[in-house]
């Protein structure tokens, strides 16, 4: 138990309401294990959409197993839901969701640790029942109050409210966290996490003030000592980013946020011309990540990149972030108590 224990930490069985959310199409086994080991909840990400989905599932499973070897704490898997124009769920989603459920079923140790499945992008529909029946806690990431209500009605256990400032896939509604999160927390009763723009204890305290029960970070955790997924140039591009250096472009499932560079400029131009090469988008993201070509590859990152100035050690960062949030709340409550008697006297 920590000072910040709440419904969410109890549901998921973690110490601090701090989550590292999915960072596909990259792997994140080591980052996820570090966040879980530090008392938060780490997440294994979806490894892209290869033509051979069995191969993709083998890759995903190996990342899950790697994470389980590095920590004995609970962790999650993020699987974006791909849907085509008529709302039909795409084969990669079906393969990955069923594959994860089977992997857990066949391994009792994994079943104990891989306890959370986070869906994002499209609506998980029929998979909600399947995820629940398998005994997993189901989190779903949404960009509007309408989607939050629909998720709760479908039996989702935790809603992640995604603001437009976030890195990677951003909500089509273009709602920012400060408006969206309280709209959602006053509309549904399951726990809500804020995702987008959080980077320290002040962000966590603010999220709690908005009615959320935790935060889900992306960009902040990339720039860490535990990172093994992203090339050092990628981390440097985030460290060098200033306000206004990010831009939203059309990603794989809708709007996507990354840093301004040759790749994002050329994608925006292709978008206007209508000749975007969809497969090239994922290759471009992977190019920036693996070769460090942060000019010709898409560098997914949130607006918060402008506020990231140091490489963190996750093992220290997570408890410090929780301590800072508790201190901020305590300090605000303390200053309020000091002012109240004065106001009464006046």
Ligand X SMILES: Cc1cc2nc3c(=O)[nH]c(=O)nc-3n(C[C@H](O)[C@H](O)[C@H](O)COP(=O)(O)O)c2cc1C
Contact yes or no for 151/159 (Cβ under 8 A): yes
In the bound state with ligand X, the residue whose beta carbon lies nearer, of 71 and 139, is: 139
The b-or-e profile of 215-230 (16+ CB within 10 A means b, else e) is bbbbbbbbbbebbebb
**Separation between Cα atoms, residue 276 and residue 269, nearest integer Å:** 9
> What is the helix (H) or strand (E) element at residue 160, kind and residue range?
strand 158-162
247 token code pair:
């831009």
Q: Mask 306-345, x = binds ligand X (CB under 6 A)?
A: ----------------------------------------
In the bound state with ligand X, the residue whose beta carbon lies nearer, of 41 and 304, is: 304
CA angle centred on 281, ends 277 and 282, rounded to 5°: 130
Q: Which stretch binds ligand X (CB under 6 A): 176-184, 191-199, 264-272, 326-334?
A: 191-199
Q: Which stretch binds ligand X (CB under 6 A): 86-94, 147-155, 159-167, 174-182?
A: 159-167
Phi, psi (degrees; rounded to nearest 5) at 299: -105, 95
**Separation between Cα atoms, residue 21 and residue 306, nearest integer Å:** 19
Contact yes or no for 255/170 (Cβ under 8 A): yes
Q: Is 167 in the site for ligand X (CB under 6 A)?
A: yes
Q: Is 80 in the site for ligand X (CB under 6 A)?
A: yes
Helices 201-209 and 314-345, interaxial angle, to 10°?
50
Q: Which stretch binds ligand X (CB under 6 A): 4-12, 21-29, 96-104, 267-275?
A: 21-29
Cβ-proximal residues to 8 (8 Å cutoff; 6+ apart), any chain = 17, 158, 191, 193, 213, 214
Report DSSP state, residue 24.
T
Q: Which of 217, 263, 314, 328 binds ligand X (CB under 6 A)?
A: 217
CB of 304 to ligand X, least distance (A): 4
Pick from 295, 276, 177: which is nearest to 231 by CA?
Answer: 295
Report DSSP state, residue 22.
-
CB of 7 to ligand X, least distance (A): 21
CB of 78 to ligand X, least distance (A): 5
**Separation between Cα atoms, residue 251 and residue 171, nearest integer Å:** 11
CB of 230 to ligand X, least distance (A): 8
Q: Is 32 in the site for ligand X (CB under 6 A)?
A: no
Pick from 79, 154, 82, 148: which is nearest to 117 by CA?
Answer: 79
Q: Which of 8, 17, 21, 93 binds ligand X (CB under 6 A)?
A: 21
Q: Is 42 in the site for ligand X (CB under 6 A)?
A: no
Q: How many residues bind ligand X (CB under 6 A)?
A: 28
Q: Which of 169, 231, 281, 287 binds ligand X (CB under 6 A)?
A: 169
CB of 203 to ligand X, least distance (A): 9
Q: Which stretch binds ligand X (CB under 6 A): 109-117, 129-137, 216-224, 241-249?
A: 216-224
Q: Which stretch binds ligand X (CB under 6 A): 95-103, 104-112, 301-309, 317-325?
A: 301-309
Q: CA distances (Å), 271 to each of 30, 167, 249, 264, in order?
A: 35, 20, 8, 10
Q: Mask 82-121, x = binds ligand X (CB under 6 A)?
A: --------------------------------------x-
Q: Which stretch binds ligand X (CB under 6 A): 5-13, 30-38, 87-95, 210-218?
A: 210-218
Contact yes or no for 212/181 (Cβ under 8 A): yes
Residues 235-264 that bind ligand X (CB under 6 A): none
Q: What is the CA radius of gyration of the chain?
A: 20
Name the residues that contact ligand X, by CB under 6 A: 21-24, 45-46, 78, 80, 120, 141, 162, 166-169, 195-198, 216-220, 300-302, 304
């Amino acid at each position: 138990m920590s000072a910040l224990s709440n419904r969410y930490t109890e549901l998921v069985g973690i110490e601090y309401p701090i989550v590292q959310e999915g960072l596909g199409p990259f792997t994140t086994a080591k980052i996820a294990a570090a966040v879980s080991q530090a008392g938060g909840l780490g997440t294994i990400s979806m490894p892209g959409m290869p033509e051979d989905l069995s191969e993709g599932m083998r890759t995903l499973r190996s990342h899950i197993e790697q994470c389980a070897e590095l920590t004995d704490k609970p962790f999650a898997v993020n699987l974006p839901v791909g849907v085509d124009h008529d709302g039909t769920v795409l084969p990669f989603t079906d393969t990955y969701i069923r594959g994860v459920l089977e992997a857990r079923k066949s391994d009792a140790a994994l079943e104990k640790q891989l306890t959370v499945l986070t869906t994002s992008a499209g609506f998980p529909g029929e998979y909600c029942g399947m995820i629940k029946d398998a005994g997993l806690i189901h989190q779903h990431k949404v960009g509007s109050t309408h989607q939050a209500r629909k998720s709760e009605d479908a039996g989702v256990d935790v809603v992640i409210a995604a603001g437009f400032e976030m890195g990677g896939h951003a909500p089509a509604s273009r709602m920012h966290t400060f408006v969206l999160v309280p709209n959602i927390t006053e509309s549904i009763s399951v726990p809500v996490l804020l995702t987008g723009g959080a980077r320290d204890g002040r962000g966590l305290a603010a999220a709690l003030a908005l009615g959320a029960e935790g935060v889900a970070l992306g960009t902040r955790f990339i720039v860490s000592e535990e990172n093994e997924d992203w090339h050092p140039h990628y981390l440097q591009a985030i460290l060098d980013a200033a306000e206004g250096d990010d831009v939203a472009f059309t990603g794989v499932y809708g709007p996507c946020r990354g840093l301004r560079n040759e790749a994002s400029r050329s994608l925006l131009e292709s978008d206007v011309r209508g000749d975007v090469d969809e497969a090239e988008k994922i290759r471009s993201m992977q190019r920036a990540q693996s070769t460090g070509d942060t000019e010709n590859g898409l560098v997914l990152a949130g607006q918060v990149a402008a506020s990231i100035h140091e490489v963190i050690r996750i093992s220290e960062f997570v408890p410090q972030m929780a301590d800072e949030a508790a201190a901020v709340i305590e300090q605000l409550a303390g200053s309020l108590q000091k002012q109240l008697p004065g106001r009464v006297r006046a």
